[in-house]
Chain A
Amino acid sequence: MSLLVAEGLSKAFGGVHAVEEVSFAVEPGAVVSIIGPNGAGKTTLLNLLCGIYRPSAGRILVEGRDLTGRPPHEFAAAGVARTFQNLQVFFNMTALENVMVGRHRHERRSLAAAMLRPPALAREERAARAEAAELMRFVGLADWLEAPADALPYGALKRLEIARALAARPKVLLLDEPAAGLNPVETQEVNALITRLAARGITVLLVEHNMRLVMDVSDRIVVLDYGRKLAEGGAAEVRADPRVIEAYLGAEEEADAA
């Protein structure tokens, strides 16, 4: 069964159709990338797939369960985690605590237990801390464990969000332009990290502009243009598709050459 299925998803803001009848599926263990020119509806699509937006039409299935119209925390509970292009970091907390919040779906939420702090909870807290620290080391943030989140540089914050998303032990990880706004060194680090995630068999849905990365890691690529699905297939297939070249790749190569 597919992990994540979009069925005829549409989202309109007023008269603007940001996403129109997009369908695709993400299989377990696969890396699927969504590419397309700016304004093609990529981020809107991600926002639909984790419950931030309610679709105007269509359905979203996570492991066969229909979550259409459900709030984001239910998507999280079903195993959908994500990062944000423009960051949703908790700047009022430490870096480690940011990652610990990512585990929320596996934790006790009762206020009474929290306030009385039974020994079992204290033990779980120690384990949670250790696990979050381990994830920070995995994404290369070992030096920032106890730092307040607002002390981290931009590139580190991007990786912090990835660590937070991984803390949920997600079934599928949505990454929204993880390399956007980074310098070449930081981009390399993030690329290496995504390659490692893919190698670990983590199911990833990636929105990214960096074509080399997309071509390297993706099992399938979905191409969006003006909110519609223009093409879908493996890297070689998409690269050879004349419509894609016209809408996106060609333009990009020209831009690169310029």
Chain B
Amino acid sequence: MGALALVLAAAPFAFTNNYHYEIAILVMLNAVTCVGLNLLIGYAGQISLGHAGFFGLGAYGSAILTARYGWPPLAALAAATAGTALVAYVVGRPILRLKGHYLAMATLGMGIIISIILVTEERFTGGPDGMSVPPFAVAGFALAGERAWYAVCAAMLVAAVWLALNLIDSPAGRALRALHGAEIGAQVSGVDAARAKLAVFVLSAVFASVAGSAAAHYAGFITPAKAGFFHSIELVTMVVFGGMASTFGAVAGAAALTLLPQLLTVFKEYEMVMMGAVMMGTMIFMPKGLVPTLAARFAGGGRR
């Protein structure tokens, strides 16, 4: 936790241009989403292949309310987050009864529906070309410049990690992990499985939505691709590569898989292929993911 804050504070000294900041901000926003998604996948053991949909709902919620209706960005952020939470709740109630492949298919379908709506509702969303988003401003002060955004996103990430770590080591967090370990054992111990799954699903959607809102304001432009299937797969790959049931793994996975395509710009065309290869490689060579595997190697034991 302290180490993460230190790295985030020290990183700008190594940045030599705005492009570096831009990438770092991208990494941190993905990391916020992944920390939330990891609570769902890594800890509670439930899959979602539609999380980019929630990211998109947050992004477009903020974009539409500020650009089309002139809402103040903070109010738009709050409304978009609440709206996304509501969608996650309404969709999650029926589909979280499903398990395994069925849950994967249902969340996949949900993500696709959200992205289709964003593409077709041109009047509000600008359709496939996307829409521009006003800068984030509070009481007349606009958040502008890479450094300011970096600071805000770093604070968001530290907050997200802090909240997640607290949750994991609490009665509610143990209930989630217990559901993953042995669902019947958890239920008999008094865990309301349906309620706990729904709660963590909504929570992870909220993380994605807030990251989406921030991404929309930061970039000043948003396209439906961010809500699409490929982005969902990217997010899951980050979580799995970094290490399921490891909060710092989610951060590391987001960092690695956001940086990789930037370093290998020559292969830009093959980004999807690369993601697939990373996913397969992870499953075969380190099924526990990067951070847990390294931690086990260095500790010589089973520390999480």
Contacts and interface: CB of A to CB of B under 8 A. Distances in A.
Interface of A: 50-52, 71-73, 75-77, 81-82, 84, 87-93, 97-98, 100-105, 107-111, 113-117, 121, 125, 128, 148-151, 161, 164, 168
B172 A111 contact: yes
B170 interface: yes
Contact of B191 (A92, A104, A128): A104
A88 B190 contact: no
B181 A93 contact: yes
Contacts of B171: 100, 103-104, 107-109, 114, 125, 128
10 contacts: A76-B187, A77-B190, A88-B186, A93-B174, A101-B175, A101-B191, A110-B172, A113-B172, A117-B170, A125-B171
Given A92-B245, A148-B302, A81 B188 contact: yes
B189 interface: yes
Given A84-B185, A151-B302, 18 more contacts: A73-B191, A75-B188, A81-B188, A81-B189, A82-B188, A90-B186, A93-B177, A93-B178, A97-B174, A102-B189, A104-B189, A104-B190, A111-B200, A114-B166, A114-B167, A114-B170, A149-B181, A168-B190
Contacts, number: 121
Nearest to B192: A73
Contacts of B174: 93, 97, 100-101, 104
B217 to A, nearest CB: 24
Given A88-B184, A90-B185, A73 B203 contact: no
Interface string B38-76: 000000000000000000000000000000000000000
B190 A91 contact: no
B93 interface: no
Given A93-B177, A97-B174, A101-B174, A115 B191 contact: no
Contacts of B191: 73, 101, 104
A90 B174 CA distance: 10
A91 B181 contact: yes
B173 A88 contact: no
B89 to A, nearest CB: 13
A72 B177 contact: no
Contacts of A117: 166, 170
B187 A73 contact: yes
Given A109-B172, A148-B302, A71 B190 contact: no
A33 to B, nearest CB: 20
Nearest to B43: A92
B266 interface: no
A82 B175 CA distance: 17
Nearest to A82: B188
Given A104-B175, A111-B199, A111-B203, A89 B181 contact: yes
A151 B187 CA distance: 23
B188 A52 contact: yes
Nearest to A84: B185
Among A82, A88, A125, A128, residue most surrounded by chain B Cβ atoms (within 10 Å): A88
Nearest to A151: B302
Contacts of B170: 113-115, 117, 121, 125
A169 B200 CA distance: 27
Interface in B151-187: 163-164, 166-167, 169-175, 177-178, 180-182, 184-187
A90 B182 contact: yes
A79 B180 CA distance: 23
Interface string B189-219: 1111100100110010000000000000000
Given A107-B171, A114-B170, A115-B166, A90 B184 contact: no
A50 B188 contact: yes
A168 B186 CA distance: 12
A102 to B, nearest CB: 5
A52 to B, nearest CB: 6
Contacts of B172: 108-111, 113-114
A155 to B, nearest CB: 18
B192 A71 contact: yes
Given A109-B172, A114-B173, A148-B302, A92 B187 contact: no
Interface in B91-107: none
Contacts of A51: 187-188
Contacts of B203: 111
Contacts of B167: 111, 114-115
